Amino acid sequence: MDIILTEGYKSRDKPKIEVFRPAKHEKKLCNPEEDEILATVINREKEEGEEVFSAAEIDRVVRVILDFIAGNVDFIC
């Protein structure tokens, strides 16, 4: 199986992993009510209870992708 990751399709109808940089943007660019967000990754330490992955948790993000492909996960955050 091949996996293709693309960048720059925030307005397209595809599952997304948003990389959010709080220093650059005030709020997330994707809308969880309209977009299929698999995960959100931030480039700072995450706060307790925050449903995001820190950039240091890349192994967990890969697991979400693999679980999604296998049909074992829904959109989580």
In a domain, 65, yes or no: yes
In a domain, 6, yes or no: no
Please give the span between the terminal C-alpha atoms of the chain, in angstroms, as a whole number: 25
In a domain, 24, yes or no: yes
Per-residue confidence at 29, pLDDT binned at 50, 70, 90? confident
In a domain, 63, yes or no: yes
In a domain, 2, yes or no: no
What's the pLDDT at 76?
Answer: 54
Is the predicted pLDDT of residue 74 greater than 90, yes or no?
Answer: no
Residue 39, phi then psi, degrees to nearest 5? -160, 160
In a domain, 1, yes or no: no
pTM: 0.74
Q: What is the mean pLDDT of residues 22-43?
A: 85
Q: What is the DSSP letter of 57?
A: G
What is the domain extent for residue 25?
Answer: 16-69
Q: Are 41 and 17 in contact, with CB atoms under 8 Å apart?
A: yes
Q: Which residues pair with 54 in a beta bridge?
A: 42
Alpha-carbon distance 12 to 25, whole Å? 20
**Cβ within 8 Å of residue 46, ≥6 positions away:** 52, 53, 54
